[in-house]
Structure 1
Amino acid sequence: MVDIDELKKRLYQSGEKFSDRPKQTSWQPGRPMDPVKENGVSEYWQRPVAQTPNPLKSRYIKIALISLGTLVVVGGIFWFFWSKNFDKSEVMLTLESPDRVVAGENINFLVKYQNNTNNALDNVKVVFIYPDNSLPEVGTDLVVKKTIGVVESKQSGEIIFKGKILGQKDSTKESRVTINYQPRGIQSFFENNASAQSMIIAVPVIMNFDLPEKLVSDQELNITLRYNNTSAVSFFGLFLKIDYPAGFKFGSAYPDPFQENNQWEIFELGAREEGKILISGTITGQSNDSEVFNAQIGFKNDDNFTTLAEVLGSGLISDSPLSITQSVEGAESNLVNPKDRLYYKITYQNTASVPIISANITVEIQSSALDLKSIDSDTGNFDSNTNKLFWNTSNKKDLAVLQPGQTGEVEFNVSVKDKMPVNNFSDKNFAIKTIAKIDSPNVPLSLIGTQINGESELEIKVRTEAVLSVRGYFNDSIISNSGPLPTKVGQTTTFTLYWSILNTSNNLTDVEVSADLPSYVRWQNKISPADVNLKYDSSTGKLTWKISRVVAGTGDIAPAKTVIFQVAFTPSINQVDRSPELIGRSTLVAIDSFTNEKVTAITEALRLENLFDIVNSDQKVVGN
């Protein structure tokens, strides 16, 4: 280390000039040593020296710039997404359906949608799903798709889907709807959902079986299934099917089933209307077997059956010691006509293994269609107060003791009334029901606790009578006529003809009356009433009158069903002194709605001589 004296010597040398002293080198980081000019003065003393940046300050500046850039980018992104923001909750979708419905009735499902967003919606589709076991108004698919296309901002709309809800009473059925869409300017698809529930408060079609609670094996069985529409609306296209127990052997049914002996088609079941099906057969089984009949009514689409109502009916097989059956002669297919005579045979048997004593038989008649004054029986006694026939040991000795397996018969006969007692419009569909019973007050000791009585029911339907008449007039107040009388060759005379229908005890449906007009008779196209469905085919000469229904009592408690029309007749020379036909044989064809049978009525051709107001001198054609 240099001491202080040495340093002084160096600093203060004798004769040394100030300018000759060593110059201090100026240096800063980042730049070269100061250059020294010839005069010994640094050039940095002769010009300003640039300030060196502060590193900390530069760092803050960089951070600030980066932050500002980040804010700009984030703000831009936020602005982009904010400008394109989409809230699917602003797309409103609702589904409205009745809270409480009656099964099988037509209802509306109302779908409403509204676009409350600022975006238009593209590719909009609505998918509606009916409740299970429903019947859409169109088709059978429970999933229905509707393409809407575009829904503009703030636009709304609605769609109605129609159908029937089916199910059990008090069950709840859910319908659902989905709307799918793509907001304009956004690549994603969205969907909204809605649903509605409906409770079935009533099943309007009710059914019940009428069959004996106690059944005897191998006994003929008559079953009645009644169905009733309790609602104020009609049902169309119903199907009814019955599942029989394994021990039941089908015999016959009225009306006839259309398929497999157990299915019926009910084209229309009107409001408050009821119907029934009669089934006959035999039942076999073991004692104490329960034989169950299951009936379902509903709608059928292809092979799918949707149940509207269901009922079970059952009977218990028991070894009734006394059995009884009925048969009737004169009632083919259990159908009769007025004035028919019916011959009943009651067959009874002791099926037990022990004798039964003091048996008695009764037959109760339940019908206003029979002339009870005409009842005749060799041995039976008839009580008009109870409408019952009686046989016991006093008039049928075989009933005193019935040995095991012993059979016997009793008989009676009676006439159907000439005319059914139709006094008002509810008097229709007449049937003859007989209930035969066999019993004994003396139950053998081995059969105590067992019902030994037997019972049999038989029902016969009475057909309606349809009458068709044709009348002709020259002098008529409804349609006036012209021309010479008697009719003359080459000159035209017009006549007024009447078709009239009378119907007694059952409604007629699908009624059609037809006849041919001869080639020399011309149709004048004058009809009264003007709105009837009366058509003339000029190519065939056939005249046809169609009527949807003719009620029971028409021509009795209601006016006859009548149509009036005019024809023209121009005789030819070969018809002189003759009485030509003005209209050929007239035929009525219809369906008896009670017996489900085809009904036919025919009236002979109407000739000139048959006109009601033509005197003898005018009944034949004369020459010029």
Structure 2
Amino acid sequence: MDDQILDDQARSDIPQDFSKPEPVWKNFIKKNKVIIASALAVVLIIGIFWFFLSRSSTSNPPQSQNVILLVKGPNQITSGNEAEYTVVYRNGENADLVGVSLEMLYPTGFKFKSATPAPASSTGSSFNLPILKQGEDGTVVIRGKLSGSTSEEKEIRARLNYRLSNFNSEFVVSESIHTTILAPNLVLDINGPVDVVNGQDTTFSVTITNVSGNQFENLAIQLVFPVGFSFTSSTIRATKNNNYWVLGLLETGNSQSLDITGSFTGADREEKLVRADLGQIISNNFAPQIVSTASFRVIPSSLALTITAQPQSYVKLGDTITYKLAYMNRGSIGLSNLVIDVTLNGPVLELSRVSASNAIINGSQLTWKAATLSNLSILSPNERGEITFTVPLKQQLTSNLKNQTIRASASISSDEITNPTRAGDSELKLISNLDLSITGDYVSGAAPMQVGQTTVFAMTLLLSNLSNDLINTEVVASIPLPSSAWKNVIIPDSESGRLSYDPNSGKIKWKIGDLVAFTGKFTPALKVTFQLAVTPTESDRGKTMTLLSDLFATGTDTFVNQIIESVKTSLVTVTSINDEVMNLKGTSVE
């Protein structure tokens, strides 16, 4: 279409390179593009920073006011020594805590040693914890060495993460504790193998070093061994109980070592904790000052042995214990010429009546070997065997020892494994025994007994106890007579506060409480007398009157932690009291 605005002359006057001018804003951008780019970059950085800041502030788990976290430990400790911190967490919510985990943040200078329960990491920085029911508490105990400059303050922080069983959000609660470092004086260490073979002797060392400028005298060390540890020997003779040593003087800069040999028995991979307390003897008393611990992990032995007993936890005089030895070759090669040794210990054992087939018996020592039991000649891989034997107990005590135990120790070896493997000791407690007797004496009134006439009897209870202390001891009996039969005459008068009669139930109760061991053996038996006034009715004519029924004593054995009961007397009659007057006059109602 022809241009109707410009004619040909005007069109020819326009330059060929002419173009429309650019907008002003584009020129501005071109001239200031560096400044604009810088401004946009600043805005972008601010936006990114704000995004992450707001995101992090909103991603922190909420905190609950009803879950409490507490960290307990020493306020001060000498540098280089061991500290124990206890983390306690309490569920005050109305729901269970699930997905529970504990994070620990340790300061520089802290060397983690062990924890109960075991941590999820070797550094002890994280723990996966079980479900915590509402209203219950949980505990984590952490042990480690803490070192630092004198007067330096160390902070240990704990963070508990969890969810509620009825709510899906994550919650967190935090707590910390501060410990101030004191100048070092004595350093205590326990060193030994991390892994110990189940039942085989191992040796670990306890070392004390004086890093102060002063000498220390009257030093002593006490060890606490775990369940399943059996002491064999030590390089310094134990002062008492194979766990306490008096060391004497330790000069400045000197060290002293104590080597302990013994065996650990337990489940595979079970951790066994040994604790050492170092202190001084002050006024003939051991005053512990510093502590050190070491954890040993039990690994299986190629030659395994266990010893079990029936009954399993406690026995009484006259019982017979049945022991079972179970042995097994857990290795990959056959074992030959096995030897099994058992040592029995306990003053109530009737060793002369031990029954053990194919055993060589020498007093309290029992030995089985290939020469006496052919099954011990060869034990192939994964092969196992059993041996049983019985040991009777004496009918009566022959010593005045309280809280007696019966212990059986066993070990096994072979030509290939000469270092004996010990079984965990079998230990049974001797339970005490309550003996209650009743006697009756004619006091006054009709003899023989007459219908409608009253006869007075004095009833005497005699209570004795065997080898262990008892608590909550009481005697109970029923009086199958009218309440008027109770005369409320109690001898001695000192027992009137403990012996009572309830007319509603028709029962008497003698509330003794604590009853020491050997009452009635090495000290007089406990005794009380009360009177009954018995008036027969016509329905009693020709019969023997019952004075008491269901008579027995109970108490809680503090050593065995079991309730024991005397033999129950069902009926106490005029005939059974065997009174001289009534036997002469007649025991039936006339």
TM-score between the two structures when normalised by the length of structure 2: 0.50
Q: Cα offset for 1:364?
A: 0.3
- 2:346 & 2:514 partners in 1: Cα distance? 26
Secondary structure in structure 2 of the residue aligned to 1:438:
strand
CA distance in 2, matches of 1:565, 1:310: 58
Quote the Cα distance in structure 1 between the aligned partners of 2:523 and 2:196.
45
1:281 deviates by: 10
Per-residue displacement from partner, 1:395-438 (whole Å, max 9, x unpaired)?
1223223222221122211111111223x3xx122211000100
Q: Distance in 2 between matches of 1:539 and 1:443?
A: 72
SS in 1 for 2:575: helix
Letter of the 1:509 partner, please give it. I
Please give the alpha-carbon distance, in whole angstroms, between the structure 2 residues aligned to 1:462 and 1:216.
29
CA positional deviation for 1:581? 0.9
Shift of 1:354: 1.9
SS of alignment partner, residue 353 of structure 2: strand
Partner of residue 428, structure 1:
402
Instruction: Output the CA distance in 1 between the equivalents of 2:582 and 2:546.
Output: 17
Residue 526 in 1 paired to residue 467 in 2? no
Pair 1:358-2:337 in alignment? yes
Q: How does 1:588-607 map to 2 (within 5 A)?
A: 588-601=553-566, 602-607=568-573
Mapping of 1:373-392 within 5 angstroms? Answer: 373-384=352-363, 387-392=364-369
C-alpha separation between the residues in 2 aligned to 1:462 and 1:554?
A: 17
Does the 8 A contact of 2:265 with 2:422 survive in 1?
no
Instruction: Select which of 557, 576, 583 maps to 1:616.
Output: 583
Conserved in 1, the CA contact under 8 Å of 2:359 and 2:372? yes
Distance 1:584 1:618 in 2: 24
Matches within 5 A, 1:112-123: none
Structure 1 match to 2:500 = 535
Q: Which amino acid aligns with 2:369?
A: N
Note closer, same or farther for the CA distance 1:290–1:615 as it changes in structure 2 (3 Å cut). closer
Question: What SS is found at the alignment partner of 1:515?
Answer: strand
Partner-residue secondary structure (3-state), 2:493? coil
* Residue 469 in structure 1 maps to residue 437 in structure 2: yes
Question: 8 Å contact 1:509–1:590 — kept in the other structure?
Answer: yes
**1:391: Cα distance to partner?**
0.9
The answer as to whether partners of 1:345 and 1:412 remain within 8 angstroms in 2 is yes
In 2, distance between residues paired with 1:337 and 1:471? 26
Deviation larger for 464-473 or 546-555: 546-555
CA RMSD of aligned residues (A): 3.6
In 2, the alpha carbon distance for the partners of 1:310 and 1:569 equals: 69
Alpha carbons 1:371, 1:416 under 8 Å: kept: yes
* TM-superposed deviation, 1:312: 5.5
Q: 2:535 aligns with which of 570, 577, 580?
A: 570
Identical residues among aligned pairs (%) = 27
Alignment pair present for 1:555 and 2:507: no
Residue equivalent to 1:344 = 323
Post-superposition CA distance 1:570-618 (Å, at most 9, x none): 1112211111111222121211111111111212321112232234353
Alignment of 1:139-538 (within 5 A): 214=196, 216=198, 283-285=267-269, 290-292=271-273, 314-329=295-310, 331=311, 333-384=312-363, 387-422=364-399, 424=400, 427-443=401-417, 453-474=421-442, 481-520=443-482, 522-532=485-495, 533-538=498-503
Per the alignment, residue 220 of structure 2 pairs with none
Distance 1:363 1:418 in 2: 24
Q: Determine if contact 2:481/2:547 at 8 Å carries over to the other structure.
A: no
**In the alignment, is the contact (CA less than 8 A) between 2:548 and 2:573 conserved in 1?**
yes
Alignment of 1:85-100 (within 5 A): none
Partner of 2:62: none
Q: Which amino acid letter does the alignment assign opposite residue 466 of structure 1?
A: L
The residue that corresponds to 1:180 in the other structure is none
Q: Distance in 1 between matches of 2:427 and 2:195?
A: 18
- Give the C-alpha shift of residue 513 in structure 1: 0.6
Contact residue 534 and residue 543 of structure 1 kept, 8 A: yes
1:339 positional shift: 1.4
Secondary structure of 1:379's match? Answer: coil
Deviation digits for residues 2-48 of structure 1 (CA, Å, limit 9, x no counterpart): xxxxxxxxxxxxxxxxxxxxxxxxxxxxxxxxxxxxxxxxxxxxxxx
In 2, Cα distance between equivalents of 1:311 and 1:351? 35
Q: Is the 8 A contact 2:320 2:391 kept in 1?
A: yes
Return the alpha-carbon distance in structure 2 between the equivalents of residues 499 and 428 of structure 1: 25
CA distance in 1 between partners of 2:434 and 2:394 (Å): 16
| Aligned 8 A contact 1:576 1:620 in 2 | no
Larger mean CA deviation between 534-543 and 515-524 belongs to 515-524
Do the aligned partners of 2:477 and 2:548 also contact (CA within 8 Å) in 1?
Answer: yes
Q: How many pairs are equivalent? A: 326
Q: Measure the CA separation in 2 of the matches of 1:588 and 1:398.
A: 50
* Cα displacement string for residues 47-91 of structure 1 (whole angstroms, at most 9, x for unaligned residues): xxxxxxxxxxxxxxxxxxxxxxxxxxxxxxxxxxxxxxxxxxxxx
CA distance in 1, matches of 2:416, 2:582: 78
How far apart are residue 365 of structure 1 and its match?
Answer: 0.3
Structure 2 counterpart of 1:391, which letter?
Answer: W
> What is the CA–CA distance in structure 2 between the aligned matches of 1:213 and 1:581, rounded to whole Å?
69
Q: CA–CA distance in 1 between the matches of 2:519 and 2:294?
A: 38
Which amino acid counterpart does residue 524 of structure 1 have in structure 2? K
Change (3 A) 1:311 1:370: farther
Deviation by residue 1:255-310 (Cα, 9 ceiling, x = unmatched): xxxxxxxxxxxxxxxxxxxxxxxxx996222xxx7544899xxxxxxxxxxxx999
Distance 1:543 1:619 in 2: 27
Q: Distance in 2 between matches of 1:497 and 1:417?
A: 33
d(CA) in 1 for partners of 2:318, 2:554: 22
Alignment CA distance shift 1:464-1:214 (3 Å):
farther
Bigger radius of gyration: 1
Structure 2: distance between partners of 1:516 and 1:337: 28
Given that 2:265 and 2:423 are in contact with CA atoms closer than 8 Å, whether structure 1 keeps it comes out as no
Q: CA deviation at 1:565?
A: 0.9
Q: How far apart in 2 are the matches of 1:414 and 1:561?
A: 34
- Cα distance, 1:620–1:460 mapped onto 2, change above 3 Å: same
Distance verdict in 2 for CA 1:420–1:531, change over 3 Å:
same
User: Counterpart amino acid of 1:352?
Assistant: G
CA contact under 8 A between 2:455 and 2:534: conserved in structure 1? Answer: yes
Shift, 1:313, TM fit: 7.1
What is the alpha-carbon distance in structure 2 between the residues aligned to residue 527 and residue 281 of structure 1? Answer: 57
The answer to whether the 8 A contact 1:440-1:453 is kept is: no
Unmatched runs of 5 consecutive residues or more in structure 1:
1-102, 104-132, 134-167, 169-211, 220-241, 249-279, 296-307, 445-450, 475-480
Task: Give, in whole Å, the separation in 1 of the partners of 2:427 and 2:413.
Answer: 22
**Aligned partners of 1:579 and 1:620 also within 8 Å:** yes
Q: 1:355 Cα shift?
A: 2.2
Per the normalisation by structure 1, the TM-score is: 0.48
In structure 2, runs of 5+ residues without a counterpart are: 1-73, 75-85, 87-142, 144-193, 201-223, 229-263, 277-288
Mapped to 2, the partners of 1:494 and 1:418 lie a distance apart of 39
SS in 2 for 1:531: helix
